[in-house]
Chain A
């Protein structure tokens, strides 16, 4: 009762000095806002990276073929044949010599244009096996996935990614329609659910997006295209010979992932003179990303801490000035019956109010900045409720901490001296 009235008193005195109060509070506002905004931007970035990595599967190892660096000296105006990448022999050797590899799923890419009647779309045609679906952590939304019958009979069945289905067919039903990959006809038997598909640059390899791909039986690809990819560019014809573009290795348990990956790397290194492949271990990437996030959080936390201390010093400064300016008022109040405690409470309420108001304004600003960043720079952000509570709590604690000294000083004043103060 008495306390609430004293707090109200503190508030009133802040309202009577709006400019001074708002300047005093600015440090806290910026401190709180920067904590929330920085954590939101940091969390958004790392959350996106982690989701991408996680979608690859934490018990998988991915192998990607890549074109080795040029030897140099070769004229560009000539037909060349480039043989590189992971071979079926590599996969066979892994299967035979590396323990703890539960499954190996190869993927062959036939990068071509996809046709549906007169409409076309650039797509990856990927030849793969039945086990791909589970190894790639994907599921089918409609229709079915490729099966053994497709494989054995080299059937022209195709399953398309959700993104591709939308792009090519729009509102039409893709299921059961005939499409052409290059010149060869296929029948759409299923559509992937999409979402969570890992794509883009991961661990230095350019992963193909399942969302934009069309999947056909590995056996059919081999039968129709052989092992050759022919890329033509102006004035030259490059013939690339790649057996396996990607392979997914399944490992039974997360703790086996790292040793298995080491064994696979050692094995591949022995048989490849050039670095024409990349081994990506999603689990290791995830760990690394988490560690990076931790370091990021520590750095952000320190910056935020410093800015809040600076804000707190601002509050303390203004409160000390207020106490000096109102020394006489303190004397009057003491003479009229205020206890030391009442004076302490009055000034503490003022600094606490300053910090809470600053905290609220800071939270508001801190929530606006991520929205702006998302809109302006197209960066993902993630405001965690904990960070808001943390920032607000720290600002309240700052008010208390930096308010105690000025308040105690006010309460300790000798009433007679205070009354004489001009």
Chain B
């Protein structure tokens, strides 16, 4: 296991990961043996048609789903077969999720939404409130902290989601079609944001099916039939 913290360190390493779903009689190989390393500070776009396994991979990377076989090292720790308590702790501290449909809690204010991951990480309420304020300012919503999600535009909601994803200073940001529910102007705005975060050293892993969006990434991985068939690093 590499221990140096240079940009060459893999923050994500998956080895021989498969995921098999049984649907009645049939079995579906959503992931058919995937090996992948993602370095710290990288910006990766995962592409592929629907049913290619890209969403399953994102769920495995986000520790929402367990691989049928294979290993998943996140920051050098094998998380593939952890129990619910440990995997929940990994989700709250190591992973930041950004969803296509924002997934904010409708009854919570902007600040309260940003506080949710800190709540489950056991951050004391006062420091959580302070950090949430800072993050709200970071995503330029410092003046709307009391608003409910329904009082915000799509772009604003996604910015709240980004702030929430950053709350516990995670190792990786996982974005599932982050611009899928936004118009193109707002989409660009969000992508600029993610790029800025990446430039500051965040590892960003993003699933998308739009070439325009994948163009923002440094590395593009294409999936087909549960396997990687193309892995291209763009020249910067």
Contacts and interface: CB of A to CB of B under 8 A. Distances in A.
A294 interface: no
A341 B83 CA distance: 12
Contacts of B88: 334, 337-340, 342
Interface in A326-352: 328-329, 331-342
A341 B93 contact: no
A171 interface: no
Interface string B27-66: 0000000000000000000000000000000010010110
A286 B110 CA distance: 69
A316 to B, nearest CB: 22
A337 B64 contact: no
A335 B62 contact: yes
A16 B120 contact: no
B117 A337 contact: yes
Interface of A, helix, strand, loop or mixed by DSSP: helix
Contacts of B116: 332-333, 336
Contacts of B84: 339-340
Given A13-B107, A416-B64, A336 B117 contact: yes
Q: How large is the interface on A (under 10, 10 to 19, 20 to 34, 35 or more residues)?
A: 20 to 34
Contacts, number: 62
Contacts of B89: 337, 339
Interface in A371-411: none
B202 to A, nearest CB: 17
Nearest to A415: B64
B129 to A, nearest CB: 12
Contacts of B107: 12-13, 16
A5 interface: yes
B225 to A, nearest CB: 21
A419 interface: yes
A332 to B, nearest CB: 5
A78 interface: no
Interface string A10-49: 0011001000000000000000000000000000000000
B93 A332 contact: no
A2 interface: yes
Interface of B: 59, 62, 64-65, 84-85, 88-89, 91-93, 97, 99, 103-107, 116-117, 119-122, 125, 164, 168
